Amino acid sequence: MGLQSSLDERFAGPVTRFEREEARQIQYSLLPACSLEAPSFEIAYRFSPYAGVGGDFADFFELPDGQVGLYIGDVVGKGLPAALYAALVMGLLRGLHKTGSSTAESLALLNNRMLVRPVTGRYATTLYAIFDPASRKLTFSNAGMPQPLLVSESGCRPLGEGGLPSGIFPGATYDSHCVELFPGDAVLFATDGLHELRDRHDKDFSWERLQDTWLQCRCRTAEDSLTLLFEEARQFCEGGSEQQDDITTVVLKVRG
């Protein structure tokens, strides 16, 4: 028996509970340890995988120039295979976000690097944003993620446009979208698992319901906004289908 055959047999068995727990701990170690707070803004997030581990990912961090970077994404698939691929994408992103490149250039470079290490049937939707606390300007590029949702004094509206997912099309390019935020404004970034929740009548958690909920969050902190959002989602699904996909949300709140 060759070495490769021996290894194939060794790793062909079912995943144990201990291995699943180890995988969960590793995935959580790649996520932010806590919210990010400063005098002029705060960022909070929630990660709710479908099966203990999942294909969603998110991170936020201070950049050397005083700006703040933020990304959120969703790889195709669920469970351990998706979690492994999400870790690969996060590793590639962490090698990009401190280069000084624009959000559009960073996503284009991520796309090219993912195609250098292709995995059959795997790709990711990714959004990368930079927030400047001094000017309160938010700049972001979107590779196939749901549009961010802004609540402000004038109401609630989606921002920017979509784009080509990461890791499919060679030479893909991305647009940059900019918006000036004001004290009290909050931006919600969310993977599509939130929008795909379904109630007992098999209706989905629509954009209209999400906007109605997010309108209530302008006077709340980032953490309180997420608490309200997930409680609304729980009530919506009560008596209906269980969560069918990973759900990850990140909130950027501008303080007064």
Residue 203 in any domain: the answer is yes
pLDDT band at residue 50 under the 50/70/90 scheme: confident
Closest CA to 86 of 140, 166, 1: 166
pLDDT band at residue 8 under the 50/70/90 scheme: very low
Distances in Å between the Cα of 203 and the Cα atoms of 43, 197, 240 are 31, 8, 9
In angstroms, rounded to a whole number, what is the distance separating the alpha carbons of residues 205 and 62?
Answer: 33
Residue 217 in any domain: the answer is yes
Q: Please, which residues bridge with residue 125 across strands?
A: 74
Residue 56 in any domain: the answer is yes
In angstroms, rounded to a whole number, what is the distance separating the alpha carbons of residues 240 and 256?
Answer: 39
- Min mean pLDDT across 19-23, 35-39, 57-61, 96-100 is at 96-100
Look up the domain containing 225 and give its range: 17-23+33-254
Residue 118 in any domain: the answer is yes
Q: DSSP 3-state assignment of 142?
A: strand
Q: What is the pLDDT of residues 150-195, one digit of tens each?
A: 999 999 999 999 899 999 999 999 999 999 999 999 999 999 888 7
Residue 47 in any domain: the answer is yes
To the nearest 10°, report the CA torsion of 132, 230, 246, 97. Answer: 10
Residue 132 in any domain: the answer is yes
What DSSP element (H or E) covers 26? helix 17-29
DSSP string, 169-218: STT-----EEEE--TT-EEEEE-TTTTT-B-TTS-B--HHHHHHHHHTTT
Q: What is the pLDDT of residues 68-109, one digit of tens each?
A: 999 999 998 878 888 888 988 988 888 776 666 899 999 999
| Per-residue pLDDT at 240 | 57
In angstroms, rounded to a whole number, what is the distance separating the alpha carbons of residues 144 and 150?
Answer: 18
pLDDT band at residue 4 under the 50/70/90 scheme: very low
Residue 148 in any domain: the answer is yes
Q: Please, which residues bridge with residue 148 across strands?
A: none
Residue 28 in any domain: the answer is no
Residue 3 has pLDDT above 50, yes or no: no
CB atoms within 10 A of CB 41: 20
Residue percentage of the chain with pLDDT more than 70: 89
Q: Which residues of 69-91 are buried (b: 16+ CB within 10 A; e: fewer)?
A: bbbbbbbbbbbbbbbbbbbbbbe
Give the residue-averaged pLDDT of 135-146. 97
CATH number at 121 reads 3.60.40.10
Average pLDDT, the chain: 86
| Per-residue pLDDT at 13 | 54
Max CA separation in the chain (angstroms): 70
Closest CA to 194 of 250, 144, 152: 250
Report the domain count for the chain: 1
Q: What is the pTM of this model?
A: 0.87
Q: Which residue has the tokens 């909050």?
A: 186
Q: DSSP 3-state assignment of 129?
A: strand
In angstroms, rounded to a whole number, what is the distance separating the alpha carbons of residues 128 and 71?
Answer: 4
Residue 124 has pLDDT above 70, yes or no: yes
Q: What is the pLDDT of residues 211-238, one digit of tens each?
A: 989 999 988 999 999 999 999 888 887 7
What phi and psi, each to the nearest 5 degrees, are found at residue 137?
Answer: -95, 130
**Tokens for 247?**
């759900």
